[in-house]
Amino acid sequence: MNSDNRAMIRVREADGNDLDAVVEIGRRTWPATNGELYDPDFVPLFLDKWWTKDACIPSIRAGRTMVAQAGDEVVGMASYGPLEGRQIVWKLYVLPDWQGRGVGGQLLGAVLERIGHQPTFMSFAAGNDSAARFTRSVGFVEDHREPQTDMPDLVWMRRDPT
């Protein structure tokens, strides 16, 4: 990891001006990540469910979306929030060209700082080996697998406060 790369990234809370960039990150990164794991027919359905302005606005309004900026460009995003007493990182996406340069680690670090000392969960599709390695490298362990009809299992990872 080159320390110059880390230094040029600024992580901050997203605001309404970031909406288009946040949607674009998902629309570019989700197919690159999951396109080969899901039936091709599912890809547009996922994008229409999770990566539209309507889908991204509530988390931005709630102050629970973070973005990573390199110069003027937003290159990664993360969103988080509670569900049934647990803290969940719902989305963590770095543009393909920016992966492996410390952006995801910095975004997740900012989210974990906000969540504080609480167990935190995040998930990815079984077969997303890059996400498996990344989450383990930042202290998550596998908690359970959630079967999904006609789709890969969701692997749920958990990180307990240190």
**Interacting residue ranges for ligand COA, rule: CB under 6 A:** 1, 29, 33, 92-94, 99-105, 122, 124, 128, 130-131, 133-135, 137
Say if CB 1 and CB 10 are below 8 A apart: no
Residue with Cβ nearer ligand COA (51 or 93): 93
- Which residues lie below 8 Å from residue 122, measured CB to CB, with a gap of 6+? 88, 89, 90, 92, 135, 140, 156, 157
Whole-angstrom distance, CA of residue 100 vs CA of residue 121: 22
Say if CB 87 and CB 114 are below 8 A apart.
no
Pick 38 or 93: Cβ nearer ligand COA: 93
Angle at CA of residue 21, ends 103 and 48, nearest 5°: 110
Closest-approach residue to ligand COA (CB): 104
By C-alpha distance, which of 23, 37, 140 is closest to 89?
A: 140
**Nearer of residues 64 and 102 to ligand COA, judged by Cβ:** 102
Whole-number minimum distance, CB 149 to ligand COA, in Å? 21
Q: What's the min distance (Å) between Cβ of 57 and ligand COA?
A: 21
Q: How far is the CB of 103 from ligand COA (least distance, A)?
A: 4
Q: Least distance from C-beta 113 to ligand COA, angstroms? A: 15
